[in-house]
Amino acid sequence: MQFIRTNGRGILLCLILALPAWWLGSRFPVIGGPILAILLGMLVAIPLKDQGRMAPGIKFTSKKVLQWAVILLGFGLDLTVVLRTGKQSLPIILCTITASLIIAFVLHKVLHIPSKISTLIGVGSSICGGSAIAATAPVIDADDEEVAQAISVIFFFNVLAAILFPILGHAIGFDTTSGEAFGIFAGTAVNDTSSVTAAAATWDSMWGLGTATLDKAVTVKLTRTLAIIPITLVLALIQTKKGCREQGKGVSLKAIFPFFILYFIAACLITTLAVHLGVAASFFAPLKTLSKFLIVVAMAAIGLNTNIVKLIRTGGNPLLLGLCCWAGITGTSLLAQHLLGIW
């Protein structure tokens, strides 16, 4: 009861904002529920200058609920399928992730972009958009405005990719009788699942391929999602070492390890074992849906804690960083596919 008295009002407000965002996101998947929830939250935050008794619940939602969403995301990952597809796409995925992180690091120095924003944009661009940002933010202790900034940048290039990549694929000569080449391209070069789905489904409809491209792209995208694990652990180590140096203390393993990632791994293993024992993958679909909804709820909380005026005023350099990461990933994916003989 004490938990409800302390956090109930704030959590309820986030749920109220999340419901229309979720519905609209299902109607307009290229935009998606998370970005709509952030926008609604930011708009409500303008007249709601003092959160009062809602503040603890909003903070709880933006931190803890976000971690729960990442854990539930693991129930959508059958490691057997992911690893089988990864044999073909893993070299490309490693190249694109490396390219994005290097670009983010260099431009962080050159453009003097805050390190947490550049990290979130680099990770979000290279792995899986909003999900990767959701997993990374607690590890590097990013605040809600930094998360909103990164999500907004990722969203912008998601929409561009969904619209432009099918046109680009045709212009550069991808095979139109098979969905393999474009599916791998969409799965490695587009950063968010909603836009991967939109781009791949467009290619299928353009050339009458059924769901061949979509199936390939989504499986490759799932392989990329697993990169959340090593990336968050490395970032946790860096963050902890930095904090310990500042405080003159040794490095604690408990402080290093983001334990919600352990639960994410456990969810992946449970899914893999269950599917191997004959449980249909569709059995886990409700948990995947719940994960996506909780991300929308958490994004509403993040929007409520974000100053929209400040976000717009400081958005130029992060947007340039997002553009460079996006261009770097696209070029790297195309070059790697060409060298491997896929395209």
Q: What is the mean pLDDT of residues 230-236?
A: 86
CA nearest neighbour of 121 among 156, 154, 148, 74 = 154
Other beta carbons within 10 Å of 89: 26
| Higher pLDDT, residue 261 or 199 | 199
pTM above threshold 0.85: no
Q: What is the mean pLDDT of residues 185-192?
A: 88
**Residues 106, 303 contacting (CB under 8 angstroms):** no
pLDDT reported for residue 298: 87
pLDDT in tens, 327-343: 999 999 999 999 988 87
SS3 233: helix
Other beta carbons within 10 Å of 3: 11
* pLDDT band (50, 70, 90) for residue 11: very high
* pLDDT band (50, 70, 90) for residue 251: very low
Checking if the pLDDT of 25 tops 60, the result is yes
| Higher pLDDT, residue 124 or 66 | 124
Contacts of 33 (CB under 8 A, 6+ apart): 18, 21, 22, 24, 25, 26, 292, 293, 295, 296, 299
* pLDDT band (50, 70, 90) for residue 292: confident
- For tokens 């407000």, what's the residue? 13
Cα distances from 187 to residues 167, 176, 192, 208, in angstroms, run 16, 17, 9, 19
- For tokens 């992946």, what's the residue? 268
For the ranges 30-39, 139-148, 162-171, the lowest mean pLDDT is seen at 30-39
First to last CA, the chain: 59
SS3 50: coil
SS3 39: helix
Share of the chain above pLDDT 90, in %: 23
